[in-house]
Amino acid sequence: MPAKAVVQTRIVIPSTTASAIPSTQVKFIDLFAGIGGFHMALHNLGARCVFASEIDAHARITYEYNFRKHNQNLFDFDYFNKDINLINDPALQIPDFDILTGGFPCQPFSQAGFKKGFEDTRGTLFFKIAEIIKEKQPKAFFLENVRGLLAHNEGKTFQTIQRVMEDELGYSFHYQLVRASDFGLPQHRPRLLMVGFRDPSTPFSFPEPIPLKKTMSTIFRAPCTRTVGFTLRCGGRGSGLGDRRNWDSYLVAGQERRLTPVEGKKMQGFPASFSFPVSETQAMKQLGNSVAVPAIQAVANSIINALNQNI
């Protein structure tokens, strides 16, 4: 049984059956889905999720609670996968789609060489992404990871990923470090975003940052001493204002306040109607593991525009 819900109201989005999906509507799959930051961003752009995968049981509860209402077939027809490693035949087990999205974990890659390309990624979750792309040949991919991936193992991990995408799979490969604060959210949260197209000639550039309009005072609805907040984390609580490891305590209207899911949703760009049918501890963990929705949405919009221009 899930823990007591923090918020009781479900997000309300009109339902659409799979049979009613227009043939021109962009379809995507949501791998390592968490609570659905990619799903939310692309849904806001009119795209349709046809397959999702998330292994964490608590995150799955939150994901289905919020997205079943507008995408019932995703859950009723077993397209909400529990373990991506159980997808042995992507061609048969995953519906056709246009864009693959995912914030994949940076598992340790092989330390022996980094010279075998596709073969060298076996045993990592990135391999499943590469395998699905190889089998399904989507028009584009959109991946997210921590900025440390660039320097992991002296850069060899990232070089392997780029080589697999370009040389082994034949896709273009664009990447950029993007902060949540670049797209309207008062949170640093630098993340490595990677985009590629099946047609390497597809013109693409990352969107330009926009001015920051919200501050932490906006988030708390009271004067806060910080303009831009700390990066949300996925584990545990901070240790108060005086601790160098603090990330969730702020001085607000002269008093120390800790973030709750109410503020966390705002910092990640989720709507107020997004609900957490789990404990507050789980909700904060899930928010810390999620993506910043407006940043993802801005890049996804550029991807969709690039695809439309290249028809």
The ranges assigned to domains in the chain are 26-211+290-309, 216-287
| Alpha-helix residue ranges (DSSP H) falling in 178-292 | 216-220, 261-268, 280-289
pLDDT of residue 107: 61
pTM: 0.89
Fold classification of 26-211+290-309 is: Rossmann fold (3.40.50)
Contact 81, 52 (CB under 8 A): yes
What is the Cα–Cα distance from 76 to 299, expressed in whole angstroms?
30
From first to last of the 311 residues of the chain, give the pLDDT tens digit: 444 343 333 333 333 333 345 557 999 999 999 999 999 999 999 999 999 999 999 999 999 999 999 999 999 999 999 999 999 999 999 999 999 999 988 666 654 445 555 566 656 889 899 999 999 999 999 999 999 889 888 888 899 899 999 999 999 999 999 999 999 999 999 999 999 999 999 999 999 999 998 999 999 999 999 999 999 988 666 778 988 889 999 999 999 999 999 999 999 999 999 999 999 999 999 999 999 999 999 999 999 999 998 76
Catalytic residues: 106
Neighbours of 220 (CB within 10 A): 19
pLDDT of residue 109: 60
What is the Cα–Cα distance from 281 to 236, expressed in whole angstroms?
8
pLDDT of residue 157: 86
pLDDT of residue 153: 80
Handedness of CA 56, 38, 107, 123 (dihedral sign): positive
Place of tokens 């940076």: 106
At residue 28, the 3 state secondary structure works out as strand
- Pairing verdict, β 140-146 and 190-197: antiparallel
DSSP per residue, 144-198: EEEGGGGTGGGGHHHHHHHHIIIIIT----EEEEEEGGGGT-SB--EEEEEEEES
For the record, the structure tokens of 8 come out as 């009781």
**Domain 216-287 belongs to what architecture?**
Alpha-Beta Complex (3.90)
Contact 263, 270 (CB under 8 A): no
The torsion defined by the Cα of 283, 289, 292 and 298, in degrees rounded to 10, comes to -130
pLDDT of residue 9: 31
CB under 8 Å to 101, separation ≥6 — which residues? 28, 29, 30, 31, 38, 42, 141, 142, 143, 300
**Closest CA relative to residue 230, chosen from 193, 268, 192, 262:** 268
What are the φ/ψ torsions at residue 128 (nearest 5 degrees)?
-65, -35
At residue 255, the 3 state secondary structure works out as strand
Beta bridge partners of 102: 31, 143
